C-alpha cells in the first residue's frame, strides 16, 4: 500500500501530513508540525536545520512513507532572502528522503491549490475547508501548516490517480467527493504544465 507524506516546508515550522492510499480513497494516518528549537538565535542556522532534519527522520522512521511530496520553492523578487532561508529547510528534507530511499517530488503551490479547491490562488482558509471536507475530518486541521501539508499530499494522490475526462477537460480524481471538490464545469481545475514545469493559470 502506498503511503504519501506531504511537507509544507518552513525554517521555523514545517507541517507534515501522511495519507494512506486505499481502495476507498485517501486516509489520514498522522499530521502535525516539526518546529526548530524555540527561542534559538536565527543566526544559528546549522542547529535549526539539524532540528528540522532530526524531526523529519523521526517521522519517516515511524510511519515509513513510500513517497515524499514537498511544496516547490517560490522566489519573489521583493523577498529573495525568504526563498534562500526556505531552501535550507527543503534541502535537509530532500536529504532525509534520499537517505531513506524515498522518492521526493515537488509541486508548485498554484497547482496544489488548483487541484484541491479549483482555484490557483485560493486562500489558506479555503484550503483548510477543502481538506476538512475531502478527508472527512471532524474539525479543520490546525495550524495552517498542517492543512497545507495535507493538501500537498492529497494533490499528489489526485495527480497520480486515474484520469476522468469530462467534455474537453481532463481532471485527475479517484472518487472522494468529486462534486464538492470540483463543483461545476466552470470551476473544475485545469492544470497546464509547460515543458519547463511552470504553471499556466
Instruction: Give SS3 for 37.
Output: coil
Of 20, 134, 145, 148, catalytic? 145
Give the end-to-end CA distance of the chain in Å, rounded to a whole number: 34
pLDDT of residue 39: 59
DSSP string of 2-14, one letter each residue: -EEEEEE--SSEE
pLDDT of residue 82: 76
Instruction: Give SS3 for 60.
Output: helix
Residuewise pLDDT in 10s, the chain (201 residues): 899 999 999 888 999 999 999 989 999 999 999 998 665 666 688 888 999 999 999 999 999 999 999 988 776 656 677 778 888 999 999 999 999 999 999 999 999 999 999 887 888 899 999 999 999 999 999 999 999 999 999 999 999 985 333 322 233 333 333 343 334 444 333 333 333 444 443
Of 8, 20, 134, 148, catalytic? 8
pLDDT of residue 75: 61
Check if 148 is active-site: no
Q: Where are the domains of the chain?
A: 3-200
Contact present, 164 and 171 (Cβ < 8 Å): yes
pLDDT of residue 123: 87
How crowded is residue 29: how many other Cβ atoms within 10 Å of its Cβ?
A: 15
Contact present, 91 and 50 (Cβ < 8 Å): no
Contact present, 34 and 14 (Cβ < 8 Å): yes
- 109: nearest Cα among 33, 191, 38, 19: 191
Q: Give this prediction's pTM.
A: 0.77
Q: What is the CATH number of domain 3-200?
A: 3.30.420.10
Binding-site residue positions: 8, 71, 145
pLDDT of residue 193: 32
- 52: nearest Cα among 102, 5, 86: 86
Check if 145 is active-site: yes
pLDDT of residue 130: 93
Binding-site residue positions for Mg(2+): 8, 71, 145
Check if 8 is active-site: yes
- 48: nearest Cα among 5, 92, 8: 92
pLDDT of residue 173: 34
How many Å separate Cα 74 from the centre of its chain? 14
Amino acid at each position: 500500500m502506498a503511503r504519501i507524506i506531504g511537507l509544507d516546508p518552513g525554517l521555523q515550522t514545517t507541517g507534515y501530513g501522511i495519507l494512506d492510499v486505499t481502495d476507498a480513497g485517501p486516509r489520514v494516518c498522522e499530521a502535525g508540525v516539526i518546529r526548530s528549537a524555540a527561542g534559538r538565535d536565527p543566526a544559528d542556522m546549522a542547529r535549526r536545520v539539524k532540528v528540522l532534519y532530526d524531526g523529519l527522520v523521526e517521522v519517516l522512521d515511524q510511519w515509513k512513507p513510500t513517497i515524499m511530496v514537498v511544496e516547490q520553492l517560490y522566489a519573489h523578487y521583493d523577498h529573495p532572502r525568504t526563498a534562500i532561508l526556505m531552501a535550507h529547510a527543503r534541502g535537509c528534507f530532500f536529504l532525509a528522503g534520499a537517505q531513506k530511499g524515498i522518492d521526493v517530488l515537488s509541486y508548485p503551490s498554484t497547482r496544489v491549490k488548483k487541484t484541491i479547491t479549483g482555484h490557483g490562488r485560493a486562500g489558506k482558509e479555503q484550503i483548510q475547508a477543502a481538506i476538512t471536507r475531502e478527508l472527512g475530518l471532524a474539525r479543520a486541521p490546525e495550524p495552517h501548516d498542517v492543512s497545507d501539508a495535507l493538501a500537498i499530499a492529497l494533490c499528489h494522490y489526485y495527480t497520480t490517480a486515474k484520469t476522468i475526462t469530462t467534455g474537453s477537460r481532463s481532471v485527475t480524481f479517484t472518487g472522494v467527493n468529486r462534486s464538492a471538490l470540483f463543483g461545476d464545469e466552470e470551476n473544475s481545475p485545469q492544470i497546464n504544465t509547460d515543458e519547463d514545469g511552470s504553471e499556466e493559470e
